[in-house]
C-alpha cells in the first residue's frame, strides 16, 4: 500500500517519535512519502526554530530524498507557514502546498495513497488528493501545547475527525476524548523500540560524559521543558538530595523559554544535552532510576511517555508522576509514583533499593510486551481492513 504520512516531527530529528518509528517499519512492505511536520505554532527567534527553518530551506533544494537504501521511504520538507486563522488564506496556502506534494508523490511513485496524519494542521490539504482512506493518529492534546492558537487547532482537529476513516489514540485519556466525536477509534498506547535496547546484563559501555558522574544517578531522558516537567519539584528535590541528577536530551523544545536557573546552580545536577538515538541505550542502562517528573496539565494528562518502556527495557526502576495513562503499570518493584515532593524523594529511595537482577528481568519482560514488533501486528491488521 502507498502511504502519504503527515508527520508530527521532521524525520531528521534525532529523538524519534511515533511517526518516524512507525513509518520506518511500514516502509519494509509499503511505499511511504513522509511529509516533515507542518507545525502548529508560529516560529520564534530561538536557535532550535532557526535550525528547523534552515533545514526546510535546504530541503527545498534537495527535493524528495530517500534516507535508507533498504526502505521504500521518501521524505519531503514543505516550506510551510503555521495554520492561519483566515480560512481563505488557509485554503490558498493549502493549494500551493498540495501542488508541491502532488509532484513529490509522482517522484516517489505513489498512487492513490492512504493518508496517515499526525497533526491537525494537515486537515486543509486532504481534500486536494485522491486518497484511499484517512487515518488520524493522535498522540497529544495538541491545543494544550505552548505557543499554539488553541481555538484554531481545535477547529482543525474537528475538520480532520470529520474526514478520517479511522482514528488512533495513543493514551486512554485521548481515546476517551476522541471517541466522543468519532465512532472508529482504536487505542494504541505508545510502545518502545525494545529491540534496539540491550537487556539487563548486556549493557553497552558507560558513555564517557556519564562515567565521570558518581552513582547513584537519578536520570531523566527527554525534553526538559517547563510545559512537560515539574521544574520546581526537580529543583527543590535536588536541593534536598545529593545524589547525581542527570538530564539527557533537549532543553525547552517546543516552548519559548525554560528557566533552569534553580536546577543548574546545584553542583550535582548534570545536563548532558541531546544524544543520537543510537546512543540512548547506553545512557539508559547506566542510570540507577529513570524519572518521568511530569507537571500536572492538559498536555501531560493526555500523554503516554515512550520513555517509560525504554527505562524498563534496560532494567531501570521508574519514578513517575501519577499519569492516568500509566495507572496500570505504576507498581513496585517495577515502577513507583508519588504526590508531592516528600513522596517523590521517598519513591526515589524505594526505587534505588530494588536494584537486584530479578527486578531488572521483570522490568525487561514487561517492556517486551510493549514493543514495536507487537504493535506492528496490530497495524498490519488495521491496514488489511482498509
Kind of pairing between the strands at 318-320 and 289-292: parallel
At the fourth CATH level, the homologous superfamily of domain 2-191+372-385 is Glycogen Phosphorylase B; (3.40.50.2000)
Judged by DSSP in three states, 229 sits in strand
β-pairing verdict for 114-117 and 133-138:
parallel
pLDDT, residue 45, reads: 46
Q: Which residues contact 216 (CB under 8 A, 6 or more apart)?
A: 243, 244, 288, 289, 352
Which pLDDT does position 51 carry in this prediction? 55
Q: Where in the chain is the domain with CATH 3.40.50.2000?
A: 2-191+372-385, 194-368
Q: Determine the Cα angle at 136 with ends 134 and 142, to 5°.
A: 150
Into which CATH architecture does domain 194-368 fall?
Answer: 3-Layer(aba) Sandwich (3.40)
Mean pLDDT per block of 10 residues along the chain (386 residues) reads 96 90 97 93 53 53 87 89 73 86 95 96 94 97 90 95 97 96 96 94 95 97 93 96 96 81 94 91 97 95 95 97 96 96 98 93 96 95 91
Q: Find, among 155, 129, 174, 145, the residue nearest to 37 by Cα.
A: 145
Q: What is the pLDDT of residue 41?
A: 66
Cα distance between residue 115 and residue 365, in whole Å: 34
Is 185 in a helix, a strand, or coil?
strand
pLDDT at 40: 81
How confident is the model at residue 11, as a pLDDT? 94
Amino acid at each position: 500500500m502507498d502511504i502519504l504520512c503527515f508527520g508530527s516531527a521532521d524525520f531528521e530529528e534525532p529523538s524519534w517519535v511515533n511517526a518516524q518509528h512507525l513509518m520506518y517499519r511500514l516502509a519494509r512492505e509499503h511505499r511511504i512519502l513522509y511529509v516533515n511536520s507542518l507545525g502548529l505554532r508560529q516560529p520564534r527567534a530561538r536557535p532550535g526554530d532557526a535550525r528547523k527553518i534552515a533545514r526546510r530551506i535546504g530541503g527545498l533544494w534537495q527535493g524528495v530524498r530517500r534516507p535508507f537504501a533498504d526502505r521504500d521511504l521518501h521524505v519531503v520538507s514543505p516550506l510551510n507557514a503555521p495554520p492561519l486563522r483566515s480560512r481563505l488564506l488557509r485554503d490558498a496556502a493549502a493549494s500551493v502546498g498540495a501542488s508541491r506534494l502532488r509532484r513529490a508523490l509522482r517522484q516517489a511513485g505513489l498512487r492513490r495513497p492512504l493518508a496517515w496524519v499526525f497533526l491537525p494542521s494537515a486537515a486543509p490539504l486532504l481534500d486536494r488528493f485522491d486518497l484511499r482512506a484517512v487515518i488520524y493518529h493522535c498522540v497529544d492534546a495538541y491545543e494544550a501545547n505552548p505557543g499554539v492558537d488553541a481555538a484554531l487547532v481545535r477547529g482543525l482537529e474537528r475538520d480532520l475527525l470529520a474526514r478520517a476513516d479511522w482514528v488512533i489514540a495513543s493514551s486512554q485519556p485521548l481515546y476517551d476524548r476522541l471517541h466522543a466525536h468519532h465512532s472508529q477509534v482504536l487505542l494504541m498506547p505508545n510502545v518502545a523500540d525494545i529491540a534496539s535496547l540491550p537487556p539487563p546484563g548486556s549493557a553497552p559501555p558507560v558513555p564517557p560524559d556519564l562515567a565521570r558522574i558518581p552513582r547513584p544517578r537519578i536520570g531523566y531522558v527527554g525534553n526538559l521543558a517547563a510545559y512537560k516537567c515539574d521544574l520546581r519539584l526537580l529543583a527543590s528535590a535536588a536541593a534536598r538530595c545529593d545524589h547525581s541528577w542527570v538530564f539527557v536530551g533537549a532543553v525547552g523544545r517546543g516552548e519559548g523559554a525554560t528557566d533552569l536557573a534553580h536546577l543548574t546552580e546545584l553542583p550535582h545536577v548534570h545536563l548532558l544535552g541531546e544524544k543520537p538515538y543510537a546512543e540512548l541505550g547506553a545512557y539508559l542502562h547506566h542510570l540507577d532510576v529513570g524519572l518521568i517528573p511530569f507537571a500536572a496539565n492538559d498536555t501531560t494528562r493526555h500523554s503516554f511517555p515512550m520513555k517509560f518502556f525504554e527505562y524498563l527495557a534496560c532494567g531501570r526502576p521508574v519514578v513517575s508522576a501519577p499519569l492516568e495513562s500509566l495507572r496500570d503499570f505504576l507498581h513496585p518493584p517495577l515502577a513507583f509514583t508519588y504526590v508531592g515532593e516528600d513522596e517523590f524523594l521517598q519513591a526515589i529511595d524505594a526505587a534505588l533499593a530494588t536494584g537486584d537482577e530479578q527486578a531488572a528481568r521483570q522490568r525487561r519482560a514487561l517492556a517486551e510486551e510493549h514493543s514495536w514488533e507487537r504493535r506492528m501486528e496490530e497495524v498490519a491488521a488495521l491496514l488489511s481492513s482498509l
